[in-house]
Chains A and B, each alone.
Chain A
């Protein structure tokens, strides 16, 4: 029997010089993403004092800490839902545009500018003497300035300004992935616009909506700079990332900070897994109508 050289055998399984090109990147991510994560996990079980679970006991025993989860959800969930519900009809209209590029370019600006700049801009714009309050008073909507910064609404609005474009662009990429001839087929079979949306487009869009919802939620849940700058970081907008940051960089308790980061990750993963699990109940396949 002729033995096949081991190099050829590896090659037949797809392992050769070209595959090795992946190794540096894998090594890099393992060293700087996986390892720190695992390190943080272990560190969180090695508290500065007390038994191994002391950090978690402290977190869930202190309302000042565990309330941050609810505070964050209370900001992130409504902002994500608003962004999603507005994005769907807008994406449905933009899909019909011949040249959507100008609009997508405008929408990508706040994402590119980032949360810090948006926070500074909103501090000016939403402030008691900002243009928005001036306009509200000018149009006689209110007679005294509405407080929109250094509270819940400042953070919420900043999540809309940066989150809506993000959600919209994701949804749009899913909406354009739906074969337009399916809707035409629906029209030919007598379905009016609402029926076409609810019976054809929406079922095909659900997998994309779930992914968008997950990504947008995770983004919103990790809100940090705008919660500090635009919110009330000591009270109503003390989100979980602030708690983690304070533990690490104000109390220098890296173990506690790691524990909070792990809790943050667990909440995010739990919600994403729940969303993806719910997705398993619906149609999941190509969004085209046959050979094309």
Chain B
């Protein structure tokens, strides 16, 4: 499966610009980005619900972007599930098979299999309105996979569930994907969801691909400072950096902090990014600051401090610190990312 520079405009607005991506067989890809970044547009283009204004889509060696959605044979799980309200759970799941003209006995066998897979055997004869949100979600998944599609598209499938169910369904989706091994493209704005589910993550912003990488790569080393900001690097400083021998230092809070360069490591204007998790009070910490607020998070505390030079710093600490207390903060050099250029 290959996307070749696909684009989509709505009038003057470029919702999607020159997106290219190759999806391997059985791969789980997450399209991650803030709302309005074009990820849903990308999914609808793949599904055929929107036409492309540029580029092409290939499945193996067949060009499919000219086909109508019903001719592509993909499975799709919609954000609001889009279950047919007038059909029972079993008939909903059977719909795609009926459209393919599969024999009746074969349909009932495969529907039973799908129901077992999503553990809904008891709900087979109920209408969608009579089952819970989590169960509706399972029906939507079963309906999408029962036809054995080469690719399953999921459009923020967990966004309508409460926090507890969301975690449960996350495991469930991963389990079903592991059992079936069909390629999946999963759209979400939640980085935890993307990190925990995907084999590879595509970060979209303003209709462009910002980074493609494994969850580990994205977590540890975002390619640009705005991806870093989106991935949870709350401390972002527009600053300058200095090179001393092979080591690179960023000027943060009036101090020089050792860091790792992403991209070209040269002295000059730079953006430094640190996760609050990695910034902790240390006896030898380079940044002098004063605590402004502190909140308890169970295992440890998170706090806001103001550096002597005025910057706000988000940090983690294992001991409660009093407001107004002076601290020295530091982070391991591998966790201080330095990007070239100004914000």
- A140 close to chain B: CB less than 8 A: no
Determine how close the nearest CB of chain B comes to the CB of A185; give it in whole angstroms.
Answer: 4
Contact of A292 with B80 at beta-carbon distance under 8 Å, contacts A186-B95, A286-B85 already known: yes
User: Which residues of B have CB within 8 Å of A184?
Assistant: 47, 49, 69, 76, 78, 82
- A13 close to chain B: CB less than 8 A: no
Closest 7 CB pairs of A and B: A189-B96, A290-B81, A283-B86, A289-B82, A190-B99, A185-B82, A181-B82
User: Which residues of A have CB within 8 Å of B249?
Assistant: none
How large, as a class, is the contact surface on chain A? 20 to 34
Query: Roughly how many angstroms separate A71 CA and B132 CA in the complex, as a whole number?
Result: 53
- Write the residues of chain B forming the contact surface with A, with a CB cutoff of 8 angstroms: 47-49, 68-76, 78-86, 95-96, 99-100, 127-129, 133, 136, 140, 143-144, 147, 153, 160
Contact of A290 with B83 at beta-carbon distance under 8 Å, contacts A187-B70, A195-B99 already known: yes
Chain A, residue nearest B100 (CB): A190
Query: Roughly how many angstroms separate A200 CA and B70 CA in the complex, as a whole number?
Result: 14
Query: Roughly how many angstroms separate A290 CA and B160 CA in the complex, as a whole number?
Result: 10
Query: Roughly how many angstroms separate A192 CA and B69 CA in the complex, as a whole number?
Result: 9
Determine how close the nearest CB of chain B comes to the CB of A36; give it in whole angstroms.
Answer: 42
Query: Roughly how many angstroms separate A288 CA and B96 CA in the complex, as a whole number?
Result: 19
Contact of A190 with B82 at beta-carbon distance under 8 Å, contacts A285-B127, A291-B136 already known: no
Determine how close the nearest CB of chain A comes to the CB of B315; give it in whole angstroms.
Answer: 39
Determine how close the nearest CB of chain B comes to the CB of A163; give it in whole angstroms.
Answer: 28
Query: Roughly how many angstroms separate A184 CA and B74 CA in the complex, as a whole number?
Result: 12
Does the CB pair A188–B70 fall under 8 Å? yes
User: Which residues of B have CB within 8 Å of A67?
Assistant: none
User: Which residues of A have CB within 8 Å of B74?
Assistant: 188
Determine how close the nearest CB of chain A comes to the CB of B96; give it in whole angstroms.
Answer: 4
Determine how close the nearest CB of chain A comes to the CB of B55; give it in whole angstroms.
Answer: 21
- A182 close to chain B: CB less than 8 A: yes
Chain A, residue nearest B44 (CB): A184
User: Which residues of B have CB within 8 Å of A185?
Assistant: 76, 78, 82-84, 143
Does the CB pair A187–B136 fall under 8 Å? no
Query: Roughly how many angstroms separate A199 CA and B84 CA in the complex, as a whole number?
Result: 10
Chain B, residue nearest A179 (CB): B82
Determine how close the nearest CB of chain B comes to the CB of A210; give it in whole angstroms.
Answer: 14
11 residue pairs A–B, Cβ–Cβ below 8 Å: A184-B82, A187-B68, A188-B75, A188-B153, A189-B96, A190-B99, A191-B70, A195-B99, A290-B81, A290-B83, A291-B80
Determine how close the nearest CB of chain A comes to the CB of B52; give it in whole angstroms.
Answer: 17
Does the CB pair B69–A283 fall under 8 Å? no
**Contact pattern, A 162-199, Cβ under 8 Å of B = 1, otherwise 0:** 00000000000000000101101111111110010001
